[in-house]
Every structure is written in C-alpha cells, then in structure tokens.
Structure 1
Amino acid sequence: MADLILFNKPFQVLCQFTDDREGEPRATLADYIRTPDVYPAGRLDYDSEGLLLLTGNGALQHRIASPERKMPKTYWVQVEGDIDEDAVKALCDGVRIRDGLTRPATVRRIPEPADLWPRTPPVRHREAIPTSWLEITLTEGRNRQVRRMTAAVGFPTLRLIRYRIGDWTLAGLRPGDHRSETIHLPRAEAPKRRRSPTRRPRRK
C-alpha cells in the first residue's frame, strides 16, 4: 500500500517545497502541504493550475510520472480567439513544436467548465477578442507542451487547468485543498531463483 495526496495547485505556486530564487519569495507547496517526506509525481508549471499528485512511495511515483507508461492527463484550456475545427483537428493529429511533432491527442471544444473558480489574479481579456475552452488529453509530457501546441495553431493559451491524471481528478477540491488516498500497488514479482544444473553421477 502507498499513500497518495491529490492537491489542487493554485495559480503561481511553485511545484516544489522551496524557492531557490533570490528576491521576493514565491508561494510553494510548503504553504499548503504539511505532510513530511512526500514529493510531486510529475510537474505542473508555476502559471498553471490544477491536479498535482504527491507521494513518498518511489514505485508509485515512477508509475505516475514515467514517460514509458504514457498515463493520460486531461487539461481544461482557455485560449484566445474563437478556435475553429481545422485548429482542433491539427491538435488531435499532432503539431510541430520546437522539439518535434507531438503525439496524437484527444481534443474537443467545451463550454466553460461548471463551478470553475475565479483565478487570482484574473485572466486579462481583450474586449474585441473572444475566448474558447478546450479539453485536451495527452499521453506525453513535454515542457509547457499544451501552451506550445495551442500557440502553434494560432490560439495562445490564457488559462491552463489540469483536471485529470489517469483515474484521479480534481473533483471536490478547491484551489489549495488536498486529500489523501491509500493506493494498493500490485505486488512485484519475486525474482525466480536460478536452479543449479543437476549433475549426473559419475560412472565407476
């Protein structure tokens, strides 16, 4: 068994427990989570919001964060402009960003999510330009990937909220809230003991 913390990371909170930058200190995980010896399983940008998973169990951390496992992650994304179907299809098929072509993704337009909390500070809107909401599910995790993908099709990201990682979601968590779950990990197979070869008796 392993303990897992589900945390709704607010906007402009570092995804670590200390701030190494000199100058005015920034908010960190230590301002919200008092549980000792837990670490993020994966990352979430300073200017992104939403679900972050933390655990002190190395096997569980690897299971969640390992690129080889391709655990799907779903984001709610507000973009600048009235995004069209051609741009949505391009995001689904894969777009070319600086470090190569992205994998196919699941992308669809959605209305603004119900019961969405206001962001502090709020998103800056331009009166003459509409905005759109997308639900994007990825199975890879490049640096600032969602923002780079929407920019590549001409619709810059204004707000980014991670809603789901695998089977875990933000449901019931307000910004800054967290809850704990106990996870039953599959028992690792014990290595098979190598049997020594049977020796034939020597003939006299």
Structure 2
Amino acid sequence: MLILLNKPFGVLSQFTDAGNAGSPRATLSDLVAVKGVYPAGRLDRDSEGLLLLTDDGRLQARIAHPKFRKPKTYLVQVEGDPEDASLDQLRRGVALKDGPTRPAEVRRIDPPDLWPRVPPVRYRKSVPDAWLEITITEGRNRQVRRMTAHVGLPCLRLVRWSIGDWSVSGLEPGCWREA
C-alpha cells in the first residue's frame, strides 16, 4: 500500500509525539487512520506538501534512501530577489556544514496557486520575496532551507510538490489518497 498525503504546516511527520512534555502537537495519526503504514522519508513540521506513507519496507527504502537518488521537487518562497549568481550556486551544489550538496535543478517561477497556509507567511512591504522550484536528489535534514539560506535567500514557505512521479497535485492539506 502507498498513500500520498498532503501534510499541512505544523503537523509532525510521525504518528506519535513522544517526548513532548508540553501541549500535544498534531501528528499523522490526526490525519491518517490506516494501521501499519509509515512515512517514507520526513517532512519538517514547518514544511508542507507531499509525504508518502507505505507498509512496504523495501518501497520505503527505495523512496527515502539517498543512494536511490529519487528526485524531490519543492516550491519554495524565499525572502529577497534571487540573483542569477545565487541560483547558479544552488545548481552547482553548495557546501553545508555536513558536506557539499549534489547539484540541484533550480528555476524561478511565478507565485504558484497553492492553498492558504495556516498561519499565513509573514508579509513585509519593504522586503521582496520570490518563488523557486527546486529539485534535489538527496534528502538531508532541512536541506532545501539550509541551501537557500546559504546563498542569502531565507526560506519563508516550503512545499514539497513531488517525489519521483508522485505528486500532491489535487490533494487539499490534510487529505490523502492511495496511489
């Protein structure tokens, strides 16, 4: 079984919130009542979009393990007006603290027609923002955010749009379907 979930902002990409002594945080169990499925990879709590869930361990490994280089495409709203030099750095790969990244496919895009984020992204009249489409073939912790910050473009909103041939297109936040 393979489930495509549009994970909303603020939801943990796990089924329990173990170790949280404060108020409970939203988890996958609030959205998906299917037993025996687990996330194939992760998506940060402050990121949105496609999360794949499966009950097949081999499929989970083929999706999540970096050696398979499964392309992951993100729609990224960044603070600032990206210059070609910054985008070229991302395309070549950047040196992060945990080593150099593989080259990314990067292009500027018009603001996409996405669902509203709750809470909304902060808007500052004096600071421009832009949208990028970024495709990577690895999946380090907070990688896209760290890459854009490295080139001077802090991430305001990050939506994973696709993993390989699977896409979140047509799925509202919090909704899922079987592939």
TM-score by length of 1: 0.86
The CA RMSD over aligned residues, in Å, is 0.7
Q: How does 1:28-177 map to 2 (within 5 A)?
A: 28-114=27-113, 116-177=114-175
Q: Tell me the number of residue pairs that the alignment of Structure 1 and Structure 2 aligns.
A: 178
Aligned-pair CA distance for 1:168: 0.2
Aligned-pair CA distance for 1:96: 1.2
Aligned-pair CA distance for 1:84: 1.0
Equivalent position SS for 1:35: coil
Equivalent position SS for 2:62: helix
1:133-187 per-position Cα deviation (integer Å, ceiling 9, x unaligned): 0000000111100010001100100000000000000111010010012xxxxxx
Equivalent position SS for 2:106: strand
Equivalent position SS for 1:62: helix
Find the structure with the greater CA-based Rg.
1
More divergent stretch after superposition (131-140 vs 62-71): 62-71
Match of 1:200 in 2: none
Moved over 2 A (4+): none
Q: Which amino acid aligns with 2:102?
A: R
1:111-153 per-position Cα deviation (integer Å, ceiling 9, x unaligned): 0112x11100001121100100000000011110001000110
Equivalent position SS for 1:141: coil
Q: How does 1:5-24 map to 2 (within 5 A)?
A: 5-20=3-18, 21-24=20-23
For 1:8 and 1:27, locate their aligned partners in 2 and report how far apart those are by CA, in whole Å. 14
Which runs of 5 or more residues in structure 2 are unaligned?
Answer: none
For 2:94 and 2:62, locate their aligned partners in 1 and report how far apart those are by CA, in whole Å. 27
Match of 2:177 in 1: 179
Q: Which amino acid aligns with 1:51?
A: L
Equivalent position SS for 2:146: helix
1:66-100 per-position Cα deviation (integer Å, ceiling 9, x unaligned): 11101000000000011111111111011111111
Overall identity of the aligned pairs, in %: 63
For 2:141 and 2:64, locate their aligned partners in 1 and report how far apart those are by CA, in whole Å. 14
TM-score by length of 2: 0.98
